[in-house]
Amino acid sequence: MDPTAVLAEIRDLITDHRMSRPLDETRLAELGQGFAEWLRKGGFPPRQWTHPADYSAHTAELHSGVAAVVLNPASAVAEIQFLCSQAKLSVTDLVKMLAGLDRVAVLRPGHMPARWITAPAPAE
């Protein structure tokens, strides 16, 4: 799995939701479940989290107005997995949790579980 590509696609879907454009709910659930499972099993974080300045000039506004307040990133991952496992997906709740996790990872990187902080060396 390439968590950087997955997070980029999740961010695009969150933007679609924020802009009231049609949202591929099935794809969002697939990505959310896979991303949460990746992190839960100790996979390295996406580059957007380890090098946020490379991805956005306005990270302080990332997901403003849609992100849930996330105080515990590991709990947010568990909640994302739970939401994705439900027979009737709550897209709004899933968007809020994914956006909240992304936002806290960028704005407060020191609050990430230690096993999420190790990233692979950049390709040369």
Each residue's pLDDT tens digit, 6-22: 999 999 999 888 888 99
Dihedral through CA 68, CA 73, CA 75, CA 79, nearest 10?
50
Q: What is the largest CA-CA distance in the chain?
A: 44
pLDDT classification of 121: cutoffs 50, 70, 90: very low
Residue 33 and residue 82 in contact, taking contact as beta carbons nearer than 8 Å: no
Residue 11 and residue 102 in contact, taking contact as beta carbons nearer than 8 Å: yes
| 3-state secondary structure at position 117 | helix
Look at residue 32 in the predicted model and tell me its pLDDT: 93
Look-up of token digits 């390439």: 2
Q: Does the structure show a pLDDT above 60 at 73?
A: yes
Per-residue b or e along 17-48, where b marks 16 or more CB atoms closer than 10 Å to that residue's CB = beeeeebeeeebbebbbbbbebbbeebbbbbb
Look at residue 119 in the predicted model and tell me its pLDDT: 47
Position 122 in a domain: no
Q: Does the structure show a pLDDT above 90 at 2?
A: yes
Higher-confidence position of 61 and 85: 85
pLDDT classification of 55: cutoffs 50, 70, 90: low
Q: Does the structure show a pLDDT above 50 at 87?
A: yes
Position 78 in a domain: yes
Residue 73 and residue 36 in contact, taking contact as beta carbons nearer than 8 Å: no
Owning domain of residue 25: 3-117
Position 123 in a domain: no
- Supply 100's token pair: 């909240």
Q: What residues contact residue 18 under an 8 Å CB cut-off, 6+ apart?
A: 63, 65, 66
Look at residue 28 in the predicted model and tell me its pLDDT: 93
Position 58 in a domain: yes
Look at residue 59 in the predicted model and tell me its pLDDT: 62
Position 124 in a domain: no
Give the chain's domain count: 1
